Amino acid sequence: MTFAFAQQQLQKSAEGRKAYYDQKPSHHELNVGDKVWYYSFAQPRQNAPSRLSKKFLPRWTGPHKIIDKISPVAHRIKMWQGRMSHFCDGSTGIR
Amino acid at position 51, single letter: R
The per-residue pLDDT string of the chain (95 residues; one tens digit each, 9 = 90 and over) reads 799 999 999 999 999 999 998 887 666 788 889 888 888 776 656 665 666 677 777 778 878 888 888 887 788 888 765 555 555 655 556 65
Alpha-carbon distance 85 to 88, whole Å?
A: 10
CA torsion, points 20, 25, 86, 34, in degrees to nearest 10?
-170
Q: Do residues 75 and 86 touch, judged by C-beta distance below 8 A?
A: no
Q: Do residues 48 and 58 touch, judged by C-beta distance below 8 A?
A: no
Taking the CA atoms of the chain, what radius of gyration do you get in angstroms? 21
The residues, any chain, with a CB within 8 Å of residue 65's CB and separated by 6 or more, are 33, 34, 35, 36, 77, 78
